[in-house]
Structure 1
Amino acid sequence: MTTESSGTSASNTADIVAKAGRYYRNTRYLMFVVVMGFGIAFLYDGFIRYPRHNRELKALQDENEATTDSAKKQQLAVKIKEYQHHNDTSLLIQKLLGFSLPPLGIALLAWSLHRSRGEYRLSGTKLSVPGHPTIDLDDVKSVNNDLWDRKGIVWLKYETPNAQQGEIVLDDFVYDRPPTDAIYDVIAEKFGLNKDEDENEDAADNDAAGDDEDAASRTDSESSDAQR
């Protein structure tokens, strides 16, 4: 977890700072390289390799038609079988893929970098998230943590004193997990989210215990009836 001392805080509480997730960024760089690589390969096939194969195949076919040597014809026939003719449609598909994948890779990388730009920062009760004004946790009107346990995503709807409204998304996959989780813990404590989860777990445990007691009572009753 990355922390920085807050110079304006009298209590010297540390800021919680979550920068772009390293795993998230690295996988996006890898995806960019793979997509660009496929694009270059398709362009190479469409403009160079496939046309060259077609020329080589045509030369072998012409030579096979021109020769009268049966042994050589057999040799040429074997070589011809090693080639596949690439028609205009096949060449066009390779070129279209080659021209479309590189821009797609660039767009994917740009979107990923934009999505993980900047940092989350919690300084006391002040929360800063890229794309939103710095808000106080008291400005948060609702918290949706339905996907937190499964995916590490939480939504915070806010309204500032000057009537700015928006919805912040905290994602511990896009940004460093430990500090993002630490920010969420502060929010969960403030809004009693962990308390609600504990109460739900206690209720579930009580229900399970009640079911066990009912099952035991039915078993005892059945045993008594059998003895009679």
Structure 2
Amino acid sequence: MAIRAVTDRRFYLRYLLIGLVALGFACWAMYDGMIGYPNENVIRNAYAQMAEEGREDEWKDYAKEQGWSTLKPERPHGPGDIAMQYIMAGIAGFASLVLLTVVLRSRGRWIELDGDRLHASWGQSLTSDQIVEIDKKRWRDKGIARIKYEQDGRKRVFVVDDFKFVRKEADEILYEIEGQIDMQRIVGGPPELPPGHQVAEASDAAKPTDEAAA
């Protein structure tokens, strides 16, 4: 029976949210650089001119006529301030592009184990007899296992990531594929426990012992 792990909805929703926040910040910074800061400089320059002419007491009436705030303006924004807004807009815009691209590319993706064949929606495919090593150094902390294999005379890597894909099925896939290879090929961490066994162990560990209860 084939085991398929689809993209975890929480994964791309998280990236979508962060990407939209970054996009919003980029638009805000761009607005300040193009419109906000120049408009504020008009107000501040007008106040500075009135102050230089000794007409500060007329500021409130003049500001009301123009529809501006009657509060005393702060110092004008210099060219460096405006340039910084464009820089921040560029950085945030690029970050949002990367994050939203990850979201678009991850939707509809999956990995599947069918017998001894592990394959993915993007066309990558291998069989268990091609596996050279399963590197689990980042599995415990990051949920990333790198399956190294040889195919057509080339070394390749298939990544199982239980952060990107639904954890239950991703863990089952890794457990099943490990059962089809020599255990000595598993490095960086112990072989996976049978599905459900980890949950049971965690539940038992959470229960107080008789001594602790006493």
TM-score, normalising length: structure 1: 0.67
Match of residue 52 from structure 1: 39
| Aligned residue type for 1:114 | R
What SS class does the counterpart of residue 79 from structure 1 fall into? Answer: coil
- Distance (Å, rounded) in 2 between the aligned partners of 1:73 and 1:23: 57
Matched, 1:114 2:101: no
| Deviation at residue 94 of structure 1 after TM alignment | 0.8
Go from structure 1 to structure 2 and tell me whether the alpha carbon gap of 1:149 and 1:23 turns closer, same or farther (over 3 Å shift). Answer: same
- Distance (Å, rounded) in 1 between the aligned partners of 2:38 and 2:53: 23
Go from structure 1 to structure 2 and tell me whether the alpha carbon gap of 1:91 and 1:133 turns closer, same or farther (over 3 Å shift). Answer: closer
What SS class does the counterpart of residue 106 from structure 1 fall into? Answer: helix
Go from structure 1 to structure 2 and tell me whether the alpha carbon gap of 1:48 and 1:28 turns closer, same or farther (over 3 Å shift). Answer: same
Match of residue 177 from structure 2: 187
| Deviation at residue 177 of structure 1 after TM alignment | 1.0
| Deviation at residue 88 of structure 1 after TM alignment | 0.9
Match of residue 92 from structure 1: 83
8 A Cα contact 1:67 1:73, kept in partner: no
What SS class does the counterpart of residue 179 from structure 2 fall into? Answer: helix
| Aligned residue type for 2:39 | R
Match of residue 167 from structure 1: 157
What SS class does the counterpart of residue 145 from structure 2 fall into? Answer: strand
| Deviation at residue 98 of structure 1 after TM alignment | 2.1
More helix by share: 1
8 A Cα contact 1:21 1:116, kept in partner: no
- Distance (Å, rounded) in 2 between the aligned partners of 1:112 and 1:79: 45
* CA displacement 1:85-123 (0-9 Å, x = unmatched): 100110111123224432331133224543676210111
Q: How does 1:153-164 map to 2 (within 5 A)?
A: 153-160=144-151, 162-164=152-154
- Distance (Å, rounded) in 2 between the aligned partners of 1:133 and 1:38: 37
Go from structure 1 to structure 2 and tell me whether the alpha carbon gap of 1:151 and 1:67 turns closer, same or farther (over 3 Å shift). Answer: closer
Q: Please identify the structure whose Cα radius of gyration is greater.
A: 1
Specify every segment of 5 or more residues in structure 2 that has no aligned partner in the other structure, as ranges. 62-69, 192-214
8 A Cα contact 2:15 2:103, kept in partner: yes
- Distance (Å, rounded) in 1 between the aligned partners of 2:59 and 2:104: 58
| Deviation at residue 157 of structure 1 after TM alignment | 1.3
Task: Let me know the Cα RMSD of the aligned residues.
Answer: 2.8
Match of residue 212 from structure 2: none
Go from structure 1 to structure 2 and tell me whether the alpha carbon gap of 1:74 and 1:119 turns closer, same or farther (over 3 Å shift). Answer: closer
Specify every segment of 5 or more residues in structure 1 that has no aligned partner in the other structure, as ranges. 1-12, 199-228
What SS class does the counterpart of residue 84 from structure 1 fall into? Answer: coil
Q: Percent identity?
A: 22
